[in-house]
Amino acid sequence: MIDFSISIEMAFAEGGPSFSDRVRAAADAGFSAVEIWYWRDRDLNDLKKVLTQTETRLASLCVETWRDKCNLGDPAEHEEFLKRVSTSAQAAVEFGRPKLVLLGGDAISSSSRPQQYDAMVDVLRRASDLVTPTGLELVIEVVNRQFEGPHALLDNSATALQILRRVSRPNVKYLYDRYHAIVNGEALGWAVDGNVDLLGHYQAADVPGRHEFGTGTVDWVSEFRWLVESGYQGLVGIEGTPLESSASLYRDACQLLRRARTSDVAPHSSATVSNSGW
């Protein structure tokens, strides 16, 4: 069943400066799951305590930051990447096995794109083997080329899904972030239709601005109708900075999802395709 999680990196800042305060505020608003980006500089004991107290689940955490990431197309960086996966996995096990979010890094000039894709497939298989004993799932994300990833090796959904088909491991899947995909010009469902078995997590925020649903130009009823009809049964991670109070985020998102389940809307209408796979 589809439900919503919330990035406490971006929401519930009014709940207090600490992550613990934000978790409490998110739980009070109706969220049963939260997401974080970076874990290495956090008070993990305090975070674990408040998650237990509020009966809130940690849904995902990031292996790396988008400013400090390994380039998976470069074999010289693979050992460092695997070390980061290993330490993140150790932390994740302590938090009930949230999904580990991976980035592909930037393209490099010393080898061709096909060679870099081969290297990425190899290291993702090694990462899969590394976390298999823990029961963790890895999800790889494509960020937008306009802001966060102008030089990204993985720069569209089609390429990411082709890579994942080659990796062919059940614990390595795709993080379909609709905010990034829309900014990249990807129509609703483009490349993901027919590949939903590879969809490990879904995130979203409105465009433009990366704020809550209804503040931009995206038809979220159509978006969620596509998600329902696709058969996706996971969390929708709301990953945006609210313009209004965070307290209404869960209620408003649930209303959109209910409308998506009951109304006749034509999916695949939110954006136009402006790129292709490799």
> According to the model, what pLDDT value does residue 267 have?
53
In tens, the pLDDT along 228-241 reads 999 999 999 999 99
CB proximity list for 102: less than 8 A, separation 6 or greater: 63, 64, 85, 124, 127, 138, 139, 140, 141
Asked if residue 119 has pLDDT above 60, the reply is yes
Percent of the chain with pLDDT over 90: 90
In tens, the pLDDT along 139-164 reads 999 999 999 999 999 999 999 999 99
Q: Which of 2-6, 174-178, 268-272 has the lowest mean pLDDT?
A: 268-272
CA 278/CA 274 separation, integer angstroms: 14
Asked if residue 167 has pLDDT above 70, the reply is yes
Task: Please give the backbone phi and psi of residue 4, each rounded to the nearest 5 degrees, phi first.
Answer: -115, 140
Confirm whether pTM is higher than 0.85. yes
Q: How confident is the model at residue 72 (pLDDT cuts 50, 70, 90)?
A: very high
Residue with tokens 């050992």: 79
Cβ(85)–Cβ(116) below 8 Å: no
> According to the model, what pLDDT value does residue 278 have?
47
CATH of 3-262, one of 3.20.20.150, 3.40.30.10, 2.40.128.690, 2.40.30.10: 3.20.20.150
> According to the model, what pLDDT value does residue 14 have?
85
> According to the model, what pLDDT value does residue 16 have?
75
Residue with tokens 């823990």: 134
Q: How confident is the model at residue 266 (pLDDT cuts 50, 70, 90)?
A: low
